[in-house]
Amino acid sequence: MKTLEIAEFLGGEIVGDGTVEILRVASLESATEGDLAFVEKTEFDLSTRASCLIIPIDLEHDFPVPVIKAKNPKLAFSKIAAILHTRKGRTEFRHDFSVVSETASIGEGVFIDAFCCVGHQSKIGDGSQLLSGAKVGNNVSLGENCVLHPNVYVEDGCTIGNNVVLHPGVVIGADGFGFVRDEDGTYVKFPQIGTVVIEDNVEIGANSCVDRGALGETRIGEGTKIDNLVQIAHNVQIGKRVVIAAQTGISGSTVIEDDCVIGGQVGMGDHARVLSGAIIGSQAGILPGKIVRPGVWWGTPVQPLDEYKRQNAHLKGISRLKEEVKLLRQTIDELSSITDKP
Amino acid sequence: MKTLEIAEFLGGEIVGDGTVEILRVASLESATEGDLAFVEKTEFDLSTRASCLIIPIDLEHDFPVPVIKAKNPKLAFSKIAAILHTRKGRTEFRHDFSVVSETASIGEGVFIDAFCCVGHQSKIGDGSQLLSGAKVGNNVSLGENCVLHPNVYVEDGCTIGNNVVLHPGVVIGADGFGFVRDEDGTYVKFPQIGTVVIEDNVEIGANSCVDRGALGETRIGEGTKIDNLVQIAHNVQIGKRVVIAAQTGISGSTVIEDDCVIGGQVGMGDHARVLSGAIIGSQAGILPGKIVRPGVWWGTPVQPLDEYKRQNAHLKGISRLKEEVKLLRQTIDELSSITDKP
Amino acid sequence: MKTLEIAEFLGGEIVGDGTVEILRVASLESATEGDLAFVEKTEFDLSTRASCLIIPIDLEHDFPVPVIKAKNPKLAFSKIAAILHTRKGRTEFRHDFSVVSETASIGEGVFIDAFCCVGHQSKIGDGSQLLSGAKVGNNVSLGENCVLHPNVYVEDGCTIGNNVVLHPGVVIGADGFGFVRDEDGTYVKFPQIGTVVIEDNVEIGANSCVDRGALGETRIGEGTKIDNLVQIAHNVQIGKRVVIAAQTGISGSTVIEDDCVIGGQVGMGDHARVLSGAIIGSQAGILPGKIVRPGVWWGTPVQPLDEYKRQNAHLKGISRLKEEVKLLRQTIDELSSITDKP
């Protein structure tokens, strides 16, 4: 792709030679010939050997290589990277060591690698890829252009939209964790016969789990991105464009509305509700039933970041406070002895 | 199943037509014709379209559909759900793409799907199911009516009882994490040659791990239920009817006695002991060697819930305390100036 | 192996019969005939039925069985255990149900079990083992004598050294978690096209994940040991001989220098740096960009253990402090009324 073509694709102004061939993207530091890099701030290392740079619109500098101006260079860089580094062209293929039910409906251009399964009455949309060992149960609906990485498992009856990426080891639709205690103390399983719905453009990280609803559904909204080793319990409802970092756990029936950002190792109790636009700091803990309003939240139990910081500062000040109280006691004792004298 | 049959199975009184056909269970809200739902409280939505309801014994109301009275409607509902929604009848089967050792002993009615392995001298009990990609090593003993979901792996030499359910991606019997530091700083592996014993009726959630004992055994007691992404280290001993929520980690040699309830994301140090009946709140941290008595515990390090709440309240009161001390200082300074005067 | 041979291998003095045959190692309590056990402290149970004991050099006692003296008995025991319990001799083998690219380079004595894959241009070093369901993508370099346990997945382009052990379900080289927000609120994926380098003698626990670098590499240094369910994000740099306990998560670009010890369920923000020799307590939280110096650290946000303990003690003392301030107020009020009188 030539530098001019890239500028046109990005809708950005180009300064310099528009005919330079770009093969890859790279970081500013490691870029070599044929690489496109990006500059975010006005301070940067001039010694890059990239063949082209994406720079902020307001950056005035005489570069030795062609530059493309963009409002958000990192975003522009990400967009062009998706073009330059398209996922390897896995075209229509079905490995001999795969098991596809005769009643399954397989779209056009579907790639099914070794040790994959597709169950009865399941539907795989056009252009989707099942990489080695990915397994799809019965009555599953998988949309178009999805990628199921190795050893992914999608249980019976789940529905997955278009352009969904499930990274290796993801488990969709396993039983939720619900038991009722019998009189003799044994736990009887509450039925876990609901389903999971994953909307378009969702990405879920390696070894994460999304449990099926107990009776209803667990839902993950369009464009939501989930990191590795995350636990989504039964009947959780996650809105659109939510970001959830690694190792976070969301308990049953909790609702996370659109456009929330959830840090790593966060724990949410059941039946909580995180309102649209809330940002939850890493390792925070949200109590069951809690409603979390928009804003930045931190700590266990969660509190507004400002309060959390103030409290932490207070906490650090306790020893000084103790000292102060001790001094007060001394002063008072002295005063008492004076006032006692007469 | 007819409403009268259900009432008889549950040992509950039926009020209304005993001949209505019930096909499924459902939630009160989503139920339609042929569905059985349950009512827990005395307030409920009368607009349900369920064909039958399980209701509390003391609920007096004139329902338009047959009702079955039960002491614990949710429990009764769970029990009948297990009948109405039996796991799909997977009968005796061995997929051509499976690898079963000639020295393995396979019981009657065992279902072995594609890409499964059963190692040498292993024993699979009657009616057990190995779903696609489930793998059993050598010298494993698996009881009757177990379900090993896709991509489960049970390492060599482990023993698993009857009616055990291992959800997708569960790893049983991987090496524990034990190393001894050599003089040059390198870590030498302490032998991890023990085993894992899982008793009857245990259920373990997706992608959870139970490590084998270093020299002895790791044991999970009868009827214990473990959620997703839980880590059970080497030589841990978990009693009967213990419940452990998602993402909790139990360090080496820790003992959890019968009937404990452990929240999600709890961390337990090694060689701790949680006494029978203790309840540990989510995200709690238990220090190594700590003995946790019965009662409700919270926080890191764990403390009784009451204390934790009191401490949290105190914490929130620090700024007021600071203010108070400042005022005291002012008063004293004034007092001092007065008493100094004469 | 005879007791004298063991003593010679360990370079330790033997007291007693050097011709006793030793078959296994065992714990002091469970040892029977043919077993070697070890004694760490000077107090121990004399009733062991082991055939040989490794004891501390300075332990003077008349044992009924041959003993071998060692500076560090546990270390000596671990070393001899590795000899007595060698991993089952899996020799050159390729299962019919495996898929190995014709362009892959497979070393001598490589064991490739059922349902394994090796992709194009990948290289498997001599003596390495791919256990059932382990999968290696394209252009992967795997060293000698590695063990990839069942269902491990190594993504395209990763480099793994010699003697590396990846436990079941480990995912190496999945995409990192990086997105740039577009003006309409959608998340655009930042390129995740870097790689993972794992150096010699690394061991990674079951279901742990190591993401590939975004543009550069994620690296795990020689001799580092990682427990189960750990998350290592993109571009993380982990030094040599680092130990990381279960369920810990390390965010993007964070650096952990040589010889650190990281507890379980620790969370590290991105771009943090843990300096060589630091010890981080379980469940600790390290803020993004934080530099953690050598020493023992605890809590969220991390602080030196001493400070953490002091703060915890202060916290427990708040109610007493409150009481004290209340008393001061009373005294002052009394004093005021006295000084007011004249």
User: What is the number of helices (H) and of strands (E) in chain B?
Assistant: 3, 39
Q: Which amino acid is at B46?
A: L
Per-residue pLDDT, C339: 66
Nearest of A340, C341, A330, C322 to residue B332 by alpha carbon:
A330
CB contact under 8 Å between A246 and C328, yes or no, is no
Give the Cα-Cα-Cα angle C170, C175, C181 (nearest 5 degrees): 145
CB contact under 8 Å between A174 and B95, yes or no, is no
Cα–Cα distance measured from residue A254 to residue C64, given in angstroms and rounded to the nearest whole number: 63
Residues of chain C contacting residue B247, judged by C-beta atoms under 8 Å apart: 247
Residue C51 in tokens: 């055939």
Residues of chain C contacting residue B171, judged by C-beta atoms under 8 Å apart: 167-169, 206-207, 228
Per-residue pLDDT, B43: 66
Q: Is the peptide bond before B64 cis (omega within 30 degrees of 0)?
A: no
pLDDT 10s digits, A291-311: 999 999 999 999 999 999 988
A–C: how many Cβ contacts below 8 A? Answer: 174
- Name the closest residue on chain C to residue B326, using Cα atoms: C325
Nearest CA of chain B to the CA of A207: how many Å? 7
- Name the closest residue on chain B to residue C204, using Cα atoms: B177
Cα–Cα distance measured from residue C60 to residue C69, given in angstroms and rounded to the nearest whole number: 10
Residues of chain B contacting residue C24, judged by C-beta atoms under 8 Å apart: 193
CB contact under 8 Å between C322 and B325, yes or no, is no
B260: Cβ–Cβ under 8 A, 6 or more apart, which residues? B239, B242, B243, B274, B275, B276, B277, B278, B279, B280
The CATH class given to the B93-303 domain equals: mainly beta
- Work out the end-to-end distance of chain C between its first and last CA atoms, rounded to an integer number of angstroms: 98
CB contact under 8 Å between A251 and B241, yes or no, is no
Per-residue pLDDT, A43: 66
Mean pLDDT of B165-179: 98
A–B: how many Cβ contacts below 8 A? Answer: 174
Confidence bin at B20 (pLDDT 50/70/90): very high
* C102 or B329: which leads in pLDDT: C102
Average pLDDT, chain B: 94
Give SS3 for A242.
coil
Q: What percent of chain C has pLDDT over 90?
A: 82
CB contact under 8 Å between A215 and B27, yes or no, is yes
Per-residue pLDDT, B183: 93
Nearest CA of chain B to the CA of A219: how many Å? 16
CB contact under 8 Å between C151 and A133, yes or no, is yes
Average pLDDT, chain C: 94
Using CB atoms, which residue from A97, A247, A328 is nearest to C249? A247
Mean pLDDT of C181-186: 96
CB contact under 8 Å between B231 and C247, yes or no, is yes
Cα–Cα distance measured from residue A209 to residue A220, given in angstroms and rounded to the nearest whole number: 12
Cα–Cα distance measured from residue C37 to residue C54, given in angstroms and rounded to the nearest whole number: 6
Cα A246 to Cα A108, A233, A302, C186, C208, distances in angstroms? 34, 15, 18, 20, 12
Using CB atoms, which residue from C174, C180, C215 is nearest to A206? C174
CB contact under 8 Å between A336 and C339, yes or no, is no
Radius of gyration of chain C, Cα coordinates, nearest whole angstrom? 28
Per-residue pLDDT, A339: 66
pLDDT 10s digits, A215-267: 999 999 999 999 999 999 999 999 999 999 999 999 999 999 999 999 999 99
Confidence bin at A317 (pLDDT 50/70/90): confident
Cα–Cα distance measured from residue B220 to residue B171, given in angstroms and rounded to the nearest whole number: 14
CB contact under 8 Å between A205 and C174, yes or no, is yes
Q: Which CATH number fits domain B3-84: 3.90.25.10, 3.40.50.300, 3.40.1390.10, 3.40.50.720?
A: 3.40.1390.10
Q: Which residues pair with B25 in a beta bridge?
A: B36
Tell whether the model's pLDDT for residue B342 goes beyond 60. no
Nearest CA of chain B to the CA of C309: how many Å? 11
Q: Which residues pair with A36 in a beta bridge?
A: A25, A52
Tell whether the model's pLDDT for residue B89 goes beyond 70. no
Mean pLDDT of B136-163: 98
CB contact under 8 Å between B231 and C243, yes or no, is no
pLDDT 10s digits, B273-302: 999 999 999 999 999 999 999 999 999 999
Per-residue pLDDT, B45: 63
Confidence bin at C88 (pLDDT 50/70/90): low
Residues of chain A contacting residue B264, judged by C-beta atoms under 8 Å apart: 231, 249, 251, 267
Using CB atoms, which residue from A75, A169, A316 is nearest to C169? A169
- Name the closest residue on chain A to residue B325, using Cα atoms: A325
Most confident option among A280-289, C59-68, C320-329? A280-289
Cα dihedral C182, C185, C191, C197, rounded to 10, equals 140
| Residue C85 among the catalytic residues | no
Residues of chain C contacting residue B189, judged by C-beta atoms under 8 Å apart: 78, 82, 203
Flag the least confident range among A37-41, A73-77, C267-271. Answer: A37-41
- Which of A149, A234, A271, A314 does the annotation list as catalytic? A234
* B245 or C340: which leads in pLDDT: B245
Per-residue pLDDT, B333: 81
Q: Which helix (H) or strand (E) holds B255?
A: strand B255-256
Using CB atoms, which residue from C246, C325, C328 is nearest to B249? C246
Nearest of B23, B38, B31 to residue B70 by alpha carbon:
B38
Q: Chains touching chain B at 3 or more Cβ pairs under 8 angstroms? A: A, C
- Name the closest residue on chain C to residue B182, using Cα atoms: C75
Tell whether the model's pLDDT for residue C114 goes beyond 70. yes
CB contact under 8 Å between B133 and A115, yes or no, is yes
Mean pLDDT of A59-77: 92
Using CB atoms, which residue from A72, A207, A259 is nearest to C209? A207
Q: Which residues of B are catalytic?
A: 234
Tell whether the model's pLDDT for residue A95 goes beyond 70. yes
Flag the least confident range among B286-300, C27-41, C250-264. Answer: C27-41
Using CB atoms, which residue from A153, A185, A189 is nearest to B78? A189
Cα–Cα distance measured from residue A13 to residue A54, given in angstroms and rounded to the nearest whole number: 10
Average pLDDT, chain A: 94
CB C21 within 8 A of CB C36: no
Residues of chain C contacting residue B298, judged by C-beta atoms under 8 Å apart: none
CB contact under 8 Å between C185 and A227, yes or no, is no
Neighbours of B302 (CB within 10 A): 24
pLDDT 10s digits, B207-234: 999 999 999 999 999 999 999 999 999 9
Per-residue pLDDT, B336: 76
Strand A117-118 to A135-136 pairing: parallel
Cα B316 to Cα A182, A341, B223, C182, distances in angstroms? 40, 41, 41, 39
Cα–Cα distance measured from residue B190 to residue B171, given in angstroms and rounded to the nearest whole number: 20
Nearest CA of chain C to the CA of B187: how many Å? 7
Using CB atoms, which residue from B169, B186, B300 is nearest to C241? B186
Nearest CA of chain B to the CA of A104: how many Å? 16
Confidence bin at A191 (pLDDT 50/70/90): very high
Residue C209 in tokens: 């994940």
Look up the ipTM and state it. Answer: 0.94
Residues of chain C with CATH 2.160.10.10: 93-303
Per-residue pLDDT, B312: 84
Per-residue pLDDT, B341: 55
Nearest CA of chain B to the CA of A180: how many Å? 6
Cα–Cα distance measured from residue B121 to residue B124, given in angstroms and rounded to the nearest whole number: 10
Mean pLDDT of B304-312: 91
